[in-house]
Structure 1
Amino acid sequence: MKTVVAVYTGQGLADPLKKVFQELLPDVRLVNIIDDSLIGDVVKAGRIPPGVARRLVQYYRNGEELGADVILNTCSSVGEVADDAGKLIGIPIVKIDQAMAARAAASYERIAVLATLPSTLEPTMRLIEKEAAAAGRAVTLVNGLAAGAFEALNGGRPEEHDRLILETAERVAGEADAIVLAQGSMARMESKLAAATGKPVLSSPRLGVEQVREVLERLSREGEAAR
């Protein structure tokens, strides 16, 4: 049985992502490492503090020690730490938003990036730009920061959180060919936002797990070829 270790900086995505794994990779053992202090420290600092980066790398190492075949980094705010850690860890690290960013960059010219935190918005925009450059494409990114939505959710006001995201999506839709949801936890609103804006909406959880599946299949082929 293959093992995937998912590293989380918060609680919100663990259960929805478990359901995606049960659908797409039912025979894979999924192990979760959750440290919900991480995103709090990132939000407080407005960047990734060195302590957060060190803890994340340690969690990736823990995943390797647990026997993971692949590590899934589930937080877009810290994806650039995963890039650097890939040089230190002996197994593949998949970023949950990598496939989403690649698809957006390959398919659309004007892309609105929707997020509730600047610390998630900015790295997601950089990732899309990086994927576009790798594909030899030029893209225009539209800032879709839903100010106040993160605080509303943390304050126990999920309806206000959703309203602010919807209003932001409607505001930026006219400037974009598609909308990208920078946070995996927003995926539950994908259909609602698409219906409200009339634009394609991309979210990361399913595409991220599909990429994990592709990596596991590649590792299996390489293992068979080596025998």
Structure 2
Amino acid sequence: MIPKTLGLIHTSATLIPVFQQLCKQYLPKTSLFNIVDDSLVKNIAARGGELTPSISKRVADYVASAEDSGADYILVTCSSIGAAVEAAANITSVPVLRVDQPMADLAVREGERVGVIATLQTTLQPTADLVQRRAALAGKEILLNTRLCEGAFEALMSGDAAKHDELVTQALYQLTEEVDVILLAQASMARVVDTLKNEGKNVPILASPPHAIRYIANVV
């Protein structure tokens, strides 16, 4: 059953309009509300990429708050806190989805050589771990190729979007020669995908937001 109320938990307010537009397209009759805490990823980065028990507890508290606020389905839109999301789902009475799971399942079906690309190490490893676990669950052996676009995130945060796009495009272009499918660990990288398509690259490049919302609309 398509949820009547969808609670979205973000670590960046920039993703709110992205998901609002997707929900308008695929879940037009579903009510939405957002919970945002951009300190979560900052705290993880400050601890060398470690998802500490205290951070995991905060994620669980936000999930519980979303349930208390009336959500009958909860989507957490940050891959860096994916392990905490899965833990919270086990103690929540409504369905809880980490945003990259539908994308990971699709990638496993698409090919044996899977590429994962990110601009933050704190996002790269959790996404790669998820892909490996979803492949094992599907009984499929894959060859995983991960790529960190060093400097791209810092460029974007400093306002140099062109530099960010250039670094991500270079990494994507290289990966298309080595894998069957590519996952974008962060939604902010999706903006450069059309550049590669225009250059004739046919390797599927997957971004998590549309696949997550379509999953909720079509599978739930």
Per the shorter chain, which TM-score range?
A: over 0.9
1:12 alignment partner, SS class: helix
Q: Please name the residue that 1:15 is paired with.
A: 17
Which region of structure 1 is more displaced relative to structure 2, 38-47 or 64-73?
38-47
Q: Contact conserved, 2:115 with 2:183, CA < 8 A, in 1? A: yes
Q: Please name the residue that 1:165 is paired with.
A: 168
1:138 correspondence with 2:141 = yes
Amino acid aligned to 2:44? V
Q: CA deviation at 1:49?
A: 2.5
The 5 A counterparts of 1:1-227 are 2-45=4-47, 46-196=49-199, 197-214=201-218, 218=220
Once residues 178 and 192 of structure 1 are traced to their aligned partners in structure 2, the CA distance between those partners, rounded to angstroms, is 16
Once residues 213 and 114 of structure 1 are traced to their aligned partners in structure 2, the CA distance between those partners, rounded to angstroms, is 26
Which region of structure 1 is more displaced relative to structure 2, 56-65 or 8-17?
8-17
Once residues 27 and 193 of structure 1 are traced to their aligned partners in structure 2, the CA distance between those partners, rounded to angstroms, is 35
Q: CA deviation at 1:153?
A: 0.8
1:83 alignment partner, SS class: helix
Amino acid aligned to 1:182? A
Q: Please name the residue that 1:224 is paired with.
A: none
Q: Mark the CA change 1:158 to 1:129 in structure 2 (over 3 Å): closer, same or farther.
A: same
2:14 alignment partner, SS class: coil
Mind listing any 5+ residue stretches in structure 1 that lack a counterpart?
A: 219-227
Q: CA deviation at 1:214?
A: 3.9
Mind listing any 5+ residue stretches in structure 2 that lack a counterpart?
A: none
Counting matched residue pairs gives: 216
Amino acid aligned to 1:15? P
Q: Mark the CA change 1:195 to 1:128 in structure 2 (over 3 Å): closer, same or farther.
A: farther
Q: Contact conserved, 2:74 with 2:94, CA < 8 A, in 1? A: yes
Q: CA deviation at 1:193?
A: 3.4
Q: Contact conserved, 1:177 with 1:200, CA < 8 A, in 2? A: yes
Once residues 192 and 3 of structure 1 are traced to their aligned partners in structure 2, the CA distance between those partners, rounded to angstroms, is 36
Q: Mark the CA change 1:52 to 1:193 in structure 2 (over 3 Å): closer, same or farther.
A: farther
Q: Contact conserved, 1:194 with 1:200, CA < 8 A, in 2? A: no
Query: TM-score scaled by structure 2?
Result: 0.93
Once residues 180 and 90 of structure 2 are traced to their aligned partners in structure 1, the CA distance between those partners, rounded to angstroms, is 35
Once residues 89 and 96 of structure 1 are traced to their aligned partners in structure 2, the CA distance between those partners, rounded to angstroms, is 17
Q: CA deviation at 1:89?
A: 1.1
Query: TM-score scaled by structure 1?
Result: 0.90
Once residues 14 and 180 of structure 1 are traced to their aligned partners in structure 2, the CA distance between those partners, rounded to angstroms, is 21
Once residues 5 and 106 of structure 2 are traced to their aligned partners in structure 1, the CA distance between those partners, rounded to angstroms, is 26
- 1:135-172 Cα shifts (integer Å, max 9, x gaps): 11111111121111111111111111111100111122
Q: Contact conserved, 1:115 with 1:146, CA < 8 A, in 2? A: yes
1:113 alignment partner, SS class: strand
Once residues 91 and 20 of structure 1 are traced to their aligned partners in structure 2, the CA distance between those partners, rounded to angstroms, is 21
Percent identity of equivalent pairs: 36
